[in-house]
Structures are given as structure tokens and as C-alpha cells.
Amino acid sequence: MSSEKITTKDGSISFFNNKYQEAYHSFHGAFTEALEKHVLACNIPEIAKKQKDIKVLDICFGLGYNSLVCIQEALQINPVIDIHIDALENDANVFQMLKECHTKTDIDLLNSHCNFIIDDARKSIVNLKNNFYDAIFFDPFSPKVCPELWQEDFICAVVQKAKNNSYISTYSSARIAKDGFYKAGCEIYEGPKCGRKNGGVLALKQ
């Protein structure tokens, strides 16, 4: 396995990816980041209060925290809500790591609500519906080590998949992220800092 197991500050398990030389999460906490930077930032609880179903696009599924916390929070608000998550991931090895991060019950939750698409996200994105998702979690490795997923054309394709007035969340505050989402027609906000110096880009599709 090309990743090393680490325990984050909130007690949740993450991994350091040796290929990209980055951890999947900051030391602040894998669970905490998923909750604050993605699920709450994208208003998942509010959507669950108002709608009978929720559709989410999780780009770079990784260790599954973003999708899992989304499912848990939505079900807590509305136990009968229909949750559909399209989870894009290009590394099948993450499914082995899931077993060390989550309980069997949590993995069953992911399997029940996620449609896993294992391929380069730049290829997967073209087969997804436009104006379809209530929220998008955008979580590639950093622009420094994975620049291909932060290019303007890809970000534009991602934004097209979101419904109008839906949020797209990411941890990165890099200029390339801000410029990409702005040029794709989004309003740009600063997301929760969650232990970092700056909050990531929180993009609102107009």
C-alpha cells in the first residue's frame, strides 16, 4: 500500500499518500474537516429539512469522510430522505483503507447511498447530468501536486453539474481555485478555517 496510516487530532483515522506526498486530511481532524468544510458549508442539514431527496457529487472520494458525514447528518435531520451520492475516485486502493477508517456499519451506509465511479474525474465528469446536484464536495489533492484537477476547464465542467444556488466546497484557498470558480460564474466566499490559516473556497453557483 502506498499510504501510511495517521491518527488526526479529533481521533479519526486518515492516511498519508506517498505518491502525492500529502495527507488526505489535515491533522486538525478528518471527521471535523468533512463536517465543517463540506457538509455544513454546503448547507446539507438545511437541504435535508426542505427536500425529500438530496443529490451530491463527491469529487475525489478518498477515504469517504465527506460522503459519510453527509449521509449521517442528512439522516439525522430526515430519517426517510433519499440520498444519492455520485462518488468519483481514481484510486481503487482507497476501498482497502476504508476498512481501517470506518466501522462496518458506516461502510454499509456508504455502499447504500454512493454510486462509485472509479476513473479519472476528468473523464467521469462528462457523463454526469448538468444542473443536477444539490451540493458538490471538491476535494482533490492540492494544486501543487495535482494541478490537472484545478484547471479552469475542469472546474467549469464541475460547476455545470451543480443546481443554481448550490454550493461547491473545497479546502483550498489557492489563487487557482478562487480564479477557477469565479471564472466559471460563481460567487466566491471563504469557507471555514478548521485549523488552517485561511478558509478554503466556497463557491455559490449563480
Q: What is the mean pLDDT of the chain?
A: 94
Give the number of domains in the chain. 1
13 falls within a domain: no
Distance spanning both ends of the chain, measured CA to CA: 42
> Residue 196 domain-assigned?
yes
User: Is residue 39, in this structure, part of any structural domain at all?
Assistant: yes
Burial class (CB in 10 A: 0-12, 13-18, 19+), 69: buried
pTM of the full predicted structure?
0.94
Report the candidate in 54, 73, 80 with the shortest Cα–Cα distance to residue 162. Answer: 54
How far is Cα 181 from Cα 158, in angstroms, rounded to an integer? 9
What is the arithmetic mean of pLDDT over 62-67? 96
Summarize pLDDT for 163-204 with one digit per residue, the tens. 999 999 999 999 999 999 999 999 999 999 877 778 899 999
CATH number at residue 197: 3.40.50.150
DSSP 112-176: HHEEEEES-HHHHGGGSPTT-EEEEEE-PSPTTT-GGGGSHHHHHHHHHHEEEEEEEE-S---HH
What's residue 196's pLDDT? 72
Task: Give the structural domain span for 146.
Answer: 29-205
Residue 2 lies in a domain: no
Residues in contact with 154: Cβ distance below 8 Å, sequence separation at least 6, in sequence order: 121, 122, 125, 148
Residue 3 included in any domain: no
Least confident of 19-23, 48-52, 111-115, 198-202: 19-23
Q: Is 14 part of any domain? A: no
Report whether pLDDT(1) > 60.
Answer: no
Tens digits of residue pLDDT in 33-49: 999 999 999 999 999 99
- Rounded to whole angstroms, the maximal C-alpha distance in the chain is 42
Predicted local distance difference test score (pLDDT) of residue 137? 98
What is the pLDDT, as a whole number, of residue 2?
67
Q: Using the 8-state DSSP alphabet, how is residue 29 labeled?
A: -
What average pLDDT does the segment 107-125 reach?
Answer: 97
Question: What is the mean predicted confidence (pLDDT) over 59-73?
Answer: 97
